[in-house]
Structure 1
C-alpha cells in the first residue's frame, strides 16, 4: 500500500474507519462550499459509500487521506482529473495543504511522464488560488461549474502546473 510521508503528514489510502472524521471535516459548510462535486449537508453514510469505492492511489490517479502524525485525519488530497484538496477548518493556515500537495506533485512527476497537472478553484476561493500560485500553477482560463453544495453554477479559475515550472520552483516551497 502506497503512503507518502512528509515531516508532519502521512498521505495514505482511505480506510473504512476514516468515515466519521472524513464526514465531520467535509460536512462543515465552510469547507464544503468550495468543493464543487461535494453535496451539503454531507452525511456519514455518504462518507462511508465514497471511501469504500475510492481506488488505490497510483502516481497517475490518486486519492489520499491526509493524516497528521499526531492529530489524525485532517483532510484529503487528490489528483484524478485535476489536483484538489481540502483541510478541515481547525487545521487551516498551518501549511498542511501545501505540504500534502507538494508530496503528491513530487510523486506524480517522479513516477509519470505527464508534462502538466491541471487544477481549478472557485474564483472567490482566495486561499486555494493563493496556494496554487505558490505551487507554481498559472491561470489557463475560467469556466462555470455546478456546485453541489451551493446548488448553482460558480465561476472557476482553471490553472496548470508544468513539470518544468515545478522543477524550478520546488526548493523550499512550503517554508
Structure 2
C-alpha cells in the first residue's frame, strides 16, 4: 500500500499508536458502533491499542481517515470494503471521498469484484455504497458484538466494469 493517500479534503494513512485515544473517543458512541459488527462496546484503550498493534499496523489496507490532522474514522479493504466515521463528522461526504480513493486503489491492482455490505437500516452506508456503484447481492445474518444480537447485513458488490463506467 502507498503509505499515504491524499484526497481533496482527507488524508488516509496507516494507524499509529498515538491514534488510540482518538479511536476510543470516537468509538465510545453507540450511534456509531451499532452499525458495526466486530467492535466491542464500550470501547476501551486496550481495545484501541490491540487494534493498532495487531490488526491495523499489519493490514496494509487499513487506514486512518484524517481531516486537518485529526482522526475522523477508519476505512479498509480486506475481505470487503469496510468503514466507519465518527458521529461529529457525519453528513460531510468524508466516507464517500475516502471510499472512492480506496476503491480506485483496489482496482489499480485487482480484477476481482469488491464486496461490501451494510446493516439494514443504515441508510447513510447504503447511500455511500450505491453512489460508488455497488449493487445488492443478497442478505446474511451476522452477530453484532456491540449490540450482542444478530443483525441483517445487505451484501453489496462492485465490479470493475461498474466502477469504470461510473468514472
TM range (shorter): over 0.9
Partner of 1:173: none
SS at match of 2:116: strand
Q: Which residue of 1 aligns with 2:23?
A: 22
- Secondary structure at the counterpart of residue 8 of structure 2: coil
Query: Are 1:40 and 2:38 counterparts?
Result: no
Q: Give the alignment partner of residue 75 of structure 2, picking from 74, 77, 99.
A: 77
Aligned length: 165
3-state DSSP of counterpart to 1:74: strand
Q: Deviations over 1:40-67 (max 9, x none)?
A: 1111110011111124454xxx100001
Q: CA RMSD, aligned part only?
A: 1.2
Runs of 4+ in 1 over 4 A off after TM superposition: none
Q: Which residue of 1 aligns with 2:104?
A: 106
Paired residue secondary structure (1:7): coil
Counterpart CA distance in 1 for 2:8 and 2:134 is: 23
Q: Determine if the alignment matches structure 1 residue 5 to structure 2 residue 3.
A: no
- 2:124 paired with 1:127: yes
Unaligned 5+ runs, structure 2 = none
Cα distance in structure 2, aligned partners of 1:27 and 1:118: 27
Corresponding residue for 2:51? 50
Pair 1:136-2:133 in alignment: yes
Q: Take 2:123 and 2:151, find their aligned partners in 1: how far apart are those partners?
A: 14
Q: Once the 2 structures are TM-superposed, how far is the Cα of residue 114 of structure 1 from its aligned partner?
A: 2.6
